């Protein structure tokens, strides 16, 4: 039976990938390893764990004895490596964990997988997919062409630098040891199960609660939004059909500046309240509950240090080589996402207590309103 290890499977993209993998390849054995940091949430996986269709292991990718034991037990033929510290703002205030997990953790995982596949003779048929980010390429000017797989690495945040270091390690293992690895660099994801520290869920939840919508700087920074379902479909295509040793960029083809993204979130929520007036009782502090627009909550705050201006992905290699294309348009995907957060209030309320409150105070407390 084919057997896959998904690292970081309790995170945002990881949970979506576990569900996508079960749907696309129901015969495969799926094992998730996740250290259950603040960013993890296992609730969506519980039905799969309880009915035995996946196995969940609470553990660190940087623990070689654990990873070796898992390889011995399950003879993985695929590794989808998503475990990481992933939030740029946290990497600015506390970079150490990023080096620990993203660099040293990736190194430990590569080492363990290489040793296991050498011993079992699977080096020719196994595949290791390293999931990385477009942030390794640095920042684009407004008229620059989109990042290709051969764009130079110019990371600017500690997060991006740690992911760049991990990409370099994976390439070194490919060239030096014949590691059967592939790398993907994708743009900003959005969709169900995203932690409310990231732009889109943060703005949705703040709007519902009638809190300020804190846009960094002047809001002209551009991201290329990729729906997580398109991303997961592409990851499965790459790990199954991509050429080992290669890198594939994955992008949504949806470049938007932050002002427009936040404005669209506001308009989408306003429309939901018009269509379902009962939402006003659930979220009485939301301006839309009294017929006003959520746009009244928008405020511009002190910028992120070293804030990359623009990311854009040229995903033509993925389309040409693998026929893999993203299909979710941004307006449609964003409306779906707003509905998902409206329908999963318990999920985000559990997260937005405790540690999260301390983070909001740390990251936003010092940011002055700019205008
Ligand atoms: P996330 O922060 O939501 O989830 C990361 C998961 O990794 C969490 O469940 C966490 O508990 C786990 N983890 C952290 N350290 C670990 C360790 N030492 N051992 C085992 N598990 C550990 O992140 P995400 O948004 O799902 O991102 C997944 C991957 O995709 C990351 O590698 C990230 O760099 C990459 N990526 C994300 C985006 C995005 O927009 N979210 C964009 C480009 C690339
Ligand atoms: P984020 O979701 O943190 O992803 P990344 O930094 O990896 O691109 O942020 C997306 C964009 O939104 C980025 O330009 C920073 C901006 N942003 C804000 O303006 N306000 C916020 O409160 C957050 C979290 C992000």
Q: Is the pLDDT of residue 353 over 60?
A: yes
Q: Which domains are delineated in the chain?
A: 3-194+225-255+310-328 (3.40.50.720)
Work out the pLDDT band at 94, boundaries 50, 70, 90. very high
- pLDDT tens-digit series, residues 8-43: 999 999 999 999 999 999 999 999 999 999 999 999
Q: Is 157 touching ligand 2 by the criterion CB < 6 Å?
A: no
Q: Quick one: pLDDT at residue 352?
A: 85
The answer, yes or no, to whether any atom of ligand 2 lies below 6 A from the CB of 216, is yes
Which residues form the pocket of ligand 1, taking CB atoms under 6 Å from any ligand atom?
Answer: 7-8, 10-14, 33-37, 39-40, 60-62, 82-86, 101, 105, 131, 133, 163, 186, 188-189, 195
Whether residue 359 is predicted with pLDDT greater than 90 in this model: the reply is: no
Contact between 225 and 191 under an 8 Å Cβ cutoff? The reply is no
Over 60: is that where the pLDDT of 371 sits?
no
Round the CA-based radius of gyration of the chain to a whole number and report it: 20
- Taking the centre of ligand 2 as the mean of its atom positions, its distance from the CA of residue 81, in whole angstroms, is 23
Least Cα distance to 270 among 250, 248, 297, 306 occurs for 297
- pLDDT one-digit tens code per residue, 201-216: 999 999 999 999 999 9
* pLDDT, average across residues 218-224: 98
Residue 78 CB contacts under 8 Å (≥ 6 apart), including other chains: 2, 3, 4, 5, 28, 126, 127, 128, 129, 239
CA 154 remoteness from chain centre: 20
Average pLDDT, the chain: 96
Express each pLDDT in 142-182 by its tens digit: 999 999 999 999 999 999 999 999 999 999 999 999 999 99
Length of the chain, in residues: 371
Pick from 274, 276, 267: nearest CA to 207:
267
What is the pLDDT at residue 143?
Answer: 96
Q: Is the pLDDT of residue 369 over 80?
A: no
Cα–Cα distance measured from residue 275 to residue 277, given in angstroms and rounded to the nearest whole number: 6
CB-based contacts of 337-343 (< 8 A; 24+ apart in sequence): 337/190, 337/191, 337/192, 337/194, 337/200, 337/201, 337/204, 338/204, 338/265, 338/268, 338/269, 338/272, 339/272, 340/191, 340/192, 341/201, 341/204, 341/205, 341/208, 342/208, 342/272, 342/279
Helix residue spans in 131-245 (DSSP H): 158-177, 199-208, 228-241
pLDDT of residue 370: 64
């Amino acid at each position: 039976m084919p057997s896959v290890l998904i690292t970081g499977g309790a995170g945002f993209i990881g949970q979506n990938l576990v569900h996508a993998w079960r749907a696309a390849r129901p015969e495969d054995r799926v094992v998730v390893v996740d250290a259950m940091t603040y960013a993890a949430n296992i609730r969506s996986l519980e039905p799969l764990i309880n009915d035995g269709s996946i196995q969940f292991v609470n553990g660190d990718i940087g623990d070689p004895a654990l990873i070796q034991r898992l390889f011995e037990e399950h003879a993985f033929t695929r590794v989808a490596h998503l475990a990481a510290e992933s939030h740029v703002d946290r990497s600015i205030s506390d970079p150490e964990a990023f080096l620990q997990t993203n660099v040293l953790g990736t190194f430990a995982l590569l080492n363990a997988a290489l040793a296991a596949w050498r011993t079992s003779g699977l080096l020719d048929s196994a595949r290791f997919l390293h999931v990385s980010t477009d942030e390794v390429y640095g920042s684009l000017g407004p008229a620059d062409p989109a990042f290709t797989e051969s764009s130079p690495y110019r990371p600017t945040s500690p997060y991006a630098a740690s992911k760049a270091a991990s990409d370099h390690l994976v390439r070194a293992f490919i060239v030096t040891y014949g590691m059967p690895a592939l790398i993907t660099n994708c743009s900003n994801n959005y969709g169900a199960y995203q932690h409310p520290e990231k732009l889109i869920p943060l703005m949705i939840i703040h709007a519902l609660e009638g809190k300020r919508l804190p846009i960094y700087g002047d809001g002209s920074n551009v991201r290329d939004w990729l729906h997580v379902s398109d991303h997961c479909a592409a990851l499965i295509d790459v790990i199954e059909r991509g050429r080992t040793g290669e890198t594939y960029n994955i992008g949504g083809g949806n470049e938007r500046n932050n002002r427009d993204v936040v404005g669209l979130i506001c308009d989408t929520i306003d429309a939901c309240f018009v269509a379902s007036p009962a939402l006003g009782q659930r979220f009485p502090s939301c301006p839309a509950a009294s017929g006003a627009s959520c746009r009244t909550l928008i405020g511009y705050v002190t910028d992120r240090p070293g804030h990359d201006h623009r990311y854009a992905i040229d995903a033509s290699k993925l389309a040409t080589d693998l026929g893999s294309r993203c299909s979710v348009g941004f307006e449609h995907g964003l409306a779906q996402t707003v509905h998902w957060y409206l329908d999963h209030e318990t999920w985000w309320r559990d997260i937005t207590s405790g540690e999260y409150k301390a983070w909001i105070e740390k990251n936003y407390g010092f940011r002055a309103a700019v205008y």
